[in-house]
Chains A and B, each alone.
Chain A
Amino acid sequence: MGSYSIFDIAGPIMIGPSSSHTAGAVKLGQMARALFDATPEKATFLLHGSFATVYKGHATDKALLAGVMKFQTKDPRIKEAFAIAKEQGLAYEFQTGDLGIAYHPNTVKITLEKEGIPPMEVVGSSIGGGNIEVKKIDEFDVDFRGAAGRYFTLIFCHKDKPGMLALITKAIADKGANIANLQNSRLSKGGKALTIVCLDSPIALADILAFEKNDDMYFVRSLTSIDS
């Protein structure tokens, strides 16, 4: 099966002017916010490549910020994102820099912060037509796409120890969901590991939250409502 829905091509419905630099930027902001799973007090955006050179003309800055505030790609308030962020007490900063030639020209590193919880860094690319890829979550290299409603993605950050993958996959199987794709990596033996599971059908929120009761599970995130 191919990796695109036709609604990744015919869409998104969006506020102009650019699918990659505006709509894709909104989606990257949404993705970072969903992964952070809290209301951030500060958002820092490091823009790379074409994002760095032409972000102003495409309103990429407003779009990224709007995404962090959970606006949809078609929300006309994207134009007022700066003012709305100020009202909501969300501080923001835009920087330009070079993340390295390995990254797509439309790439951003988003850092979200809130007092009392660890900050989160997400690197993502806008690969054309409003489609995005997440390339890095904190120190972990990852590779998954925010396709139009295809997958229900679960992200587990857990201790690297025997049985963790079995625990995750068994619980998912018990709920009758099928795994379409699975990625796993760790920083060091016995250290932190990240597992990304794409499902064909969703599982209940209560079942997702139940994973977090395990002491070796640092956090679980569910990405089911990414805008398309």
Chain B
Amino acid sequence: MNYQFHTAEELLTLTKKYAMPIHEVVLRHEMDFSHMTEEQVRERMKKRMGVMKDGILQMREYPKISVSGMSGKATEKIDAFLRHHPHDAAVGETGLRAMLYALATAENNASMGCITAFPTAGSSGIIPGVLFAAQEKYMASDDQLLNALFTASGIGLIIAENATLSGAEGGCQAEVGSATAMAAAAVSEMRGGSPEQCLHAAALALKNMLGLTCDPVGGMVEVPCVKRSALAAVYTLAASDLAIAGIESFIPFDQVLEAMEHIGRLISPKLRETSLGGLAVTATARSVEEKLGITINGANKEGPCGSCAACIPNEV
């Protein structure tokens, strides 16, 4: 028995060969890879799930404003909205819950709380946002939720091997974009989608995030990261809906990854986690930097500075 896979196509072949859902192939892949028993692998993932849940609870019960003051208030507001007007939400109650859990995770992260980076810290709100909301909606068990986390991880493995999960290397498409692809596949499996449908959901989600830049205000993982996580969680649910309805991605997932890698190299380094362009150089961003006494080091935002290689165009 061999559960190795490097691409979505290989993963799909394994699900067919062994008549297994994605999460089971991923679980067995990990058992082989790290020489652990099924129970050990499940326990390790459970611990990560526990950290996600605790972080959300903490943030809802004891909201914390980040040091910069830019984040920490959104969780409370969406929580109140959910309590008082759950039927008012344009995105429905599940969408509202997805935003709440994503915001709580992202705001907890911004205030240096304890989180599970999944796949990264800046994008850590999306997977819990989508999956915890879907668990309630579809009345899934904790075991099903755990399985969904394995499915998400499997998609993440393919991205890490063939493209990148680093915002500094690929822009935000590599972080939030990857998280939406992972969550889209996982939620689709949780609601009974076939492995093909899961991969279409992942491809549909990621395609919509291609080209997304990483230009955080003051170099902090707050603006736009926190609220972007909430919005990304909602549209991940929509990507899953498309796939479950039978809509296919015209471009297969593996080729979407090739595109992401290519686009990442074309994005100027000023828009790849250096805070030298985009939202990070707006008047509002500059006034925040001034107020907080932050200097983006080596940065001459008007022209080349020579010290950070941000101005040297990439080879493509």
Contacts and interface: CB of A to CB of B under 8 A. Distances in A.
Interface of A: 1-23, 47-50, 52-59, 74, 76, 78-79, 96-98, 101, 104-106, 126-131, 148-150, 200
A128 B308 contact: no
B33 A150 contact: yes
Give the 10 A-B residue pairs with the shortest CB-CB distance, closest first. Answer: A54-B219, A128-B166, A16-B109, A9-B156, A57-B219, A57-B220, A6-B153, A19-B117, A17-B221, A128-B165
Given A76-B114, A97-B307, A11 B48 contact: yes
Contacts of A19: 117, 119-122, 124
A48 B307 CA distance: 9
Contact of A15 (B48, B68, B112): B112
20 contacts: A6-B153, A10-B116, A13-B116, A16-B124, A22-B121, A23-B117, A49-B308, A49-B309, A50-B168, A53-B296, A53-B299, A53-B308, A54-B296, A57-B221, A58-B220, A96-B298, A97-B307, A104-B166, A129-B166, A130-B120
Contact of A52 (B34, B120, B297): B297
Contact of A4 (B51, B161, B294): B161
A78 B116 CA distance: 16
Given A19-B117, A98-B307, A104-B169, A59 B112 contact: yes
Interface in B93-114: 108-114
B216 interface: yes
A7 B221 contact: no
A140 B113 CA distance: 37
Contact of A105 (B108, B169, B216, B220): B169
Interface in B215-239: 216, 218-222
Interface residues of B, number: 73
B189 interface: no
A79 B269 CA distance: 29
A49 B81 CA distance: 42
B274 interface: yes
Interface core residue of A22, A105, A130 (most chain B CB under 10 Å): A105
B132 interface: no
Given A14-B114, A129-B119, 9 more contacts: A6-B150, A12-B117, A16-B109, A16-B121, A17-B109, A20-B167, A52-B308, A54-B296, A104-B168
Interface of B: 4-6, 26, 29-30, 32-35, 44-45, 47-48, 51, 68, 108-122, 124, 149-150, 152-154, 156-157, 160-161, 164-169, 174-175, 182, 216, 218-222, 269, 272-276, 294, 296-299, 306-310, 312
B26 A6 contact: yes
Contacts of A6: 26, 29-30, 33, 45, 150, 153-154, 156-157
A16 B161 contact: no
Contact of B160 (A4, A13, A96): A4
A22 to B, nearest CB: 7
A150 B222 CA distance: 33
Contacts of B168: 20, 49-50, 104-106, 128
B181 to A, nearest CB: 12
A177 to B, nearest CB: 13
A96 B47 CA distance: 37
Contacts of A50: 168, 272-274, 308
B307 A13 contact: no
B202 to A, nearest CB: 14
Nearest to B160: A4
Contacts of A47: 297
A149 B175 CA distance: 23
A161 B149 CA distance: 50
Nearest to A98: B307
Given A56-B294, A96-B297, A105-B168, A74 B114 contact: yes
A127 B33 contact: no
B166 A106 contact: yes
B220 A9 contact: no
A6 B34 CA distance: 9
B119 A17 contact: no
